[in-house]
Amino acid sequence: MVIISVRSMVCVLGLLLLLGCSDKAHELFETAAFEENQGNIPHAKELYEEIVRSYPSSKEAELARAHLADLK
């Protein structure tokens, strides 16, 4: 019988959430870049802003901030 501590369970769940967030941030960034390349700048800005707001410490947020600065 395996006994798992609450702390271990929380760590595992936190790691899974972080991995999921990274995928979502990447997906949003790809969509924003596509919209920007298609000339849909207002929608691209919205998506970049959502990345910065929802995933502020991700590499995608850093890239999104740079794109937003270029689009102003």
**52 contact partners, CB below 8 Å, separation of at least 6:** 61, 64, 65, 68
Q: Confidence band (pLDDT; 50, 70, 90) for 72?
A: confident
Residue whose tokens read 């798992």: 4
Q: Over the stretch 44-67, which tens digit does the pLDDT of each residue have?
A: 999 999 999 999 999 999 999 999
Q: How far apart are CA 50 and CA 56, in angstroms?
A: 9
Name the domain count of the chain: 1
Range(s) of the domain holding residue 65: 21-71
pLDDT at 15: 45
Q: Considering the domain boundaries, does residue 38 fall inside one?
A: yes
Residue count (the chain) = 72
pTM, entire model: 0.71
pLDDT at 16: 46
Q: Considering the domain boundaries, does residue 53 fall inside one?
A: yes
What is the rounded (10 degree) CA torsion for 14, 15, 20, 23? Answer: 140
Q: Considering the domain boundaries, does residue 48 fall inside one?
A: yes
Q: How far apart are CA 72 and CA 69, in angstroms?
A: 6
pLDDT at 63: 96
